[in-house]
């Protein structure tokens, strides 16, 4: 039971069962191999429950995007893709992280708040489910599902970046979970231009993060 990241395996009246509403089909219990009775198994998952596995198990690929993990290569290959260009700022809003999990209803609340202000990343698995004009899921059945986390990836111009952060601050009060927030910016020499704008607006980034050191070739 203690291997389940979302505490979905419960013991009651001498029996152990899995709370199917809480379970996000991440398969951490199966992979750990710790069930003394070898009683754990994962049934075939139909639509839309299969989304739980696709978004929660890092070893499962999303069939829509062909990507395993929970998002895209984002800035990790920006030196060769040019996904984020000078003057642009990217955001990765990872709903449910760290370790709390999220409903897709909460994912929609945030995506909907952002829709008119950003360009959603086309290769991202959340985007693949969205009407990008409204930020709402095309299939409302999705709303009842849960995931260990789901990443909304998007970008806008540096000029509109603070507006996006303010929108996220407001949306964070309307959700039942947490999100971890990444801000991506192309460097100018040894500086990230958007960092100063964020700090001036009262948003202070943590001291640690990721740096693409620019060794990918050919450069975009």
Partner 1 sequence: MTHTHHRRGSKKDLQRDYVVLARIDREVEAQHTYGGPLEERVKRLLEILGRYEPVALLARASGRRLRYMKGWEPRMDSGTHRVASLEDILHSEELPDEGLTNAVYTSREAVEGVVKELKEADLGISIVVSGIFDDVFDIREKAGTEPHTVNMSLGTWGRTQLLPRRPVLELCTMCGHAMISPRLAEAMIDRVREGAQAPEEAAVELGKQCTCNIFSTQRAADIIRNAAAEGV
Q: Which is nearer to partner 1, 61 or 138 (CB)?
A: 61
Cβ-based nearer residue to partner 1, 135 or 139: 135
Which CB sits closer to partner 1, 57 or 135? Answer: 57
Please tell me whether residue 187 adopts helix, strand or coil conformation: coil
Sign of the alpha-carbon torsion through 124, 130, 136, 141: negative
Considering only residues 66 through 125, tell me which ones interact with partner 1, judged by CB under 8 A: 66, 68-81, 84, 92, 94, 96-100, 123
CA distance linking residue 138 with residue 130, whole number of Å: 6
Q: Report the nearest approach of partner 1 to the CB of residue 117 (Å).
A: 17
Q: List the one residue out of 49, 69, 50 whose CA is nearest residue 59.
A: 69
Q: Does 149 interact with partner 1 (rule: CB under 8 A)? A: yes
Contact 84, 185 (CB under 8 A): yes
Site residues for partner 1, window 166-185 (CB under 8 A)? 168-169, 172-173, 175-185
Angle (CA) 185 112 181, round 5°: 35
158 binds partner 1 (CB under 8 A): no
- The piece of 13-21, 44-52, 126-134, 143-151 that touches partner 1 (CB under 8 A) is 143-151
* Token pair listed for 179: 């999100």
Residues 4-63 that bind partner 1 (CB under 8 A): 4-5, 7, 26, 28, 30-34, 58-59
Please say which residue, 156 or 212, places its beta carbon nearer to partner 1.
212
The residue (of 115 and 181) whose beta carbon lies closer to partner 1 is 181
Using alpha carbons, select from 171, 60, 67 the residue that is nearest to residue 111.
171
HSE-CB at 2 with a 13 A cutoff on CA atoms is: 0
Residue 151 lies near partner 1 (rule: CB under 8 A):
yes
For partner 1, the closer of residues 19 and 131 by Cβ is 19
Total residues contacting partner 1 (rule CB under 8 A)? 81
Longest Cα–Cα distance of the chain, Å, equals 63
Q: Is 211 in the site for partner 1 (CB under 8 A)?
A: yes
Alpha-carbon gap, residue 110 to 135, rounded angstroms: 8
Told to check if 208 binds partner 1 by CB under 8 A, we report yes
Half-sphere exposure of 171 (CA within 13 A, CB side): 23
């Amino acid at each position: 039971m203690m291997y389940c990241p979302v505490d979905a395996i419960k013991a009651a009246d001498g029996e152990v069962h899995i709370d199917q509403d809480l379970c996000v089909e991440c398969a951490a219990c199966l992979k750990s191999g710790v069930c003394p009775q070898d009683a754990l198994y994962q049934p075939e998952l139909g639509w839309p429950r299969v989304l739980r596995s696709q978004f929660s198990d890092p070893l499962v690929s999303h069939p829509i995007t062909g990507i395993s993990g929970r998002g895209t290569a984002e800035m990790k290959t920006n030196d060769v893709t040019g996904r984020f260009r000078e003057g642009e700022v990217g955001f990765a809003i990872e709903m449910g992280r760290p370790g709390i999990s999220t409903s897709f209803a909460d994912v929609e609340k945030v995506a909907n708040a952002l829709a008119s202000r950003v360009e959603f990343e086309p290769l991202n698995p959340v985007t693949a489910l969205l009407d990008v004009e409204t930020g709402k899921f095309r299939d409302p059945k999705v709303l009842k599902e849960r995931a260990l986390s789901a990443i909304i990836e998007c970008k806008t111009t540096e000029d509109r970046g603070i507006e996006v952060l303010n929108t996220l601050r407001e949306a964070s009060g309307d959700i039942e979970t947490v999100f971890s927030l990444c801000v991506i910016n192309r460097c100018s020499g040894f500086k990230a231009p958007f960092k100063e704008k964020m700090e001036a607006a009262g948003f202070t980034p943590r001291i640690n993060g990721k740096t693409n050191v620019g060794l990918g070739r050919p450069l975009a």
